[in-house]
């Protein structure tokens, strides 16, 4: 009886109809994927789902500790990519170090200073993260949070972004690297700050 039941299971499992398939899209011709073009802008996504563009020069006064903003990526043409299956990887050339000591946490510009003053240090890359590509009031965007921290001086850093299609396996990079320079401008004469 067991032999007959096992034979029936094997026969049923070898049919031409499979109800449990996962479709993985591979490159049809084995060639490179079609690259998308995009642009990066600085601004803020407001409560009405509108991205309000701002200048890439972020003004800070002496009393300002940090100004938050967002970097948006907008693709010029999607071709036949599914926007729900796109991921945008953001990074930057700006790091800071969070140090932990018995008196609390502190932020350092240099790893050496952090190691000298604290018992544990962790690097934070400003503007690093992953975003989907989603609909807003004015179209579709990918968004990443970033900031300028008052370090007692004016400084600049570059945020970069790459677009990936996660439908095929392995996932495919479908863009060149895009970049935008952020200038964190310290103006001691400012009584009010912009971008907050």
Supply the pLDDT for residue 138.
Answer: 86
How far apart are alpha carbons 78 and 151 in whole angstroms? 40
The CATH number that domain 31-93+129-186 falls under is 2.60.40
Per-residue pLDDT of the chain (196 residues; tens, 9 = 90+): 444 433 433 334 434 444 444 444 444 556 789 999 999 999 999 999 999 999 999 999 988 899 999 999 999 999 999 999 999 999 999 999 999 999 899 999 999 999 999 999 999 999 999 999 999 998 999 999 999 999 999 999 999 999 999 999 999 999 999 999 999 999 888 744 444 4
Supply the pLDDT for residue 11.
Answer: 39
pTM, rounded to two decimals: 0.79
Backbone angles phi, psi at 2, to 5 degrees: -60, -40
How far apart are alpha carbons 182 and 123 in whole angstroms? 20
Residue pointed to by tokens 């796109």? 86
The CB-based long-range contact list for 26-35 (8 Å cut-off, 24+ gap) reads 26/168, 26/169, 27/168, 27/172, 33/165, 33/172, 33/173, 33/174, 34/79, 34/174, 35/174, 35/175, 35/176
Among the residues of 42-183, which ranges form H helices? Answer: 111-117
- The domain spans of the chain are 31-93+129-186
Supply the pLDDT for residue 36.
Answer: 97
Supply the pLDDT for residue 47.
Answer: 93
């Amino acid at each position: 009886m067991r032999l007959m039941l096992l034979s029936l299971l094997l026969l049923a499992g070898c049919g031409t109809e499979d109800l449990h398939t996962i479709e993985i899209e591979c490159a049809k011709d084995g060639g490179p994927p079609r690259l998308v073009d995009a642009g990066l802008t600085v601004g803020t996504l407001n409560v009405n789902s509108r991205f309000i563009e701002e200048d890439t020069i972020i003004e800070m006064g002496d009393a300002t500790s940090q100004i938050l903003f967002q970097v948006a990526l907008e693709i010029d043409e999607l071709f036949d990519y599914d926007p729900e299956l796109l991921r945008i990887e953001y990074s930057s050339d700006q790091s800071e170090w969070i140090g932990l000591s018995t008196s609390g946490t502190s932020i350092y510009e240099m790893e050496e200073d952090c190691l000298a003053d604290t018992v544990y240090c962790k690097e934070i890359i400003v503007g690093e993260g992953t975003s989907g590509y989603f609909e807003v009031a004015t179209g579709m965007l990918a968004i990443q949070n970033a900031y300028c921290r008052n370090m007692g001086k004016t400084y600049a850093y570059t945020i970069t972004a790459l677009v990936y299609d996660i439908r095929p396996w392995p996932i495919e990079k479908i863009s060149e690297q895009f970049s935008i320079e952020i200038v964190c401008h310290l103006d001691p004469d400012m009584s009010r700050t912009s971008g907050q």
